Amino acid sequence: MKMHYLMACLIMISLLPNLIFGQQWDGASNTTDPIYRTGKVGVGTNAPKQKLHIEGGSDASLSDGSGYIIIGNQDGTNLVMDNNEFIARNNGGESTLYLQSEGGAINVHHNQAGGTQFVILDNGKVGIGTESPGAKLDVDGGTLDTSPTGTPIARFSRGSGGDNFIAIYGDNIGNYIIADDPGSNEKNLYIRTKNSKHIILDPAGKVGIGTTSPQSKLAVNGIITAKEVVVTNSGWPDFVFDDDYYLRTLDELETYTNEHKHLPDMPSASEVEGNGVSLGDMQAKLLQKVEELTLYIIELKKENGALKARVAKLEI
């Protein structure tokens, strides 16, 4: 009899876990709050949609008790999540969030866009719009559109104090760096070192080197060093040799220089100081004077020849 009683006790003990936990975890009729199981586990819901379905909780933050799920030590390093964000914390303060893949890549997909939108390879290269970045940062995509509503490859905005930005584009013609502003004020594009603005491109297409106020297509405040400079210009002074070209007499030239203190058709010193000189125009004017001087020499040679002939006759 005692043996039968002992056997019955053992059977009851063996069934006890099923009786206790079965009440909470097994059976379609289980309604123990807040955890339900009908082949799927629900926390805060009696109709779980997936293997684990959690409802309820608060937005994830640095505060204790926030979020839906906490992984780690509440008083130490932990990860808190809600329905659309996760935060790394350390005892109520900020902590570093690490995304780590052992030997593989980290891919971020967008359901609507399709394909990989962001990837970090195991060699440290980051790709945006590409699964195979060829550099530390490789951005693929974007269309050329100079309006603020365009889709550039990359865009760097001011952030505060204004809306101007720099955008990078590319198309089948080439690549573009654009300085723009959603407002009506177009912005200058600068290339500078830490303390100095060395090169400026203004909205009118004028380039300044060493100056922030270029007056022409290229303004350089300093010395230019080059092996060769080619200037294209029209109005080359071959007209000096035309038959109807008026060449001042030397007496007229002397009178002009005595009065104006510079050659005819040449700028004065004050004009050069105030306005500068056009390199192409000045080269043409200098050549004009050389050609005029050549005509004077030819004329003097003729006069000299005539004088020699007269002297020769007198000596006979």
User: How many residues in total does the chain contain?
Assistant: 316
DSSP string covering 128-143, please? ES-SS-SSSEEE----
Element (H, E) at 157: strand 154-157
The DSSP code for 273 is: H
Residue 36 CB-density burial (10 A; 0-12 exposed, 13-18 middle, 19+ buried): buried
The DSSP code for 111 is: T
Q: How far apart are CA 25 and CA 149, in angstroms?
A: 54
Whether the CB-CB separation of 177 and 161 falls below 8 Å is answered with no
- pTM strictly above 0.85: no
Q: How far apart are CA 209 and CA 201, in angstroms?
A: 9
Q: Which residues is 94 bridged to in the sheet? A: 89
Q: pLDDT 10s digit of each residue in the chain, 316 long?
A: 444 444 444 444 454 444 333 334 444 444 555 555 557 888 888 888 888 888 888 888 888 778 888 888 888 888 888 888 888 989 888 888 887 777 778 887 766 556 667 888 888 888 887 888 888 888 777 655 544 445 667 777 776 767 777 777 777 777 778 787 776 677 888 888 877 778 999 888 999 998 888 988 999 999 999 999 888 877 889 999 999 999 999 999 999 999 999 999 999 999 999 988 888 889 999 999 999 999 999 999 999 998 988 888 887 7
- Please give the backbone phi and psi of residue 140, each rounded to the nearest 5 degrees, phi first: -120, 125
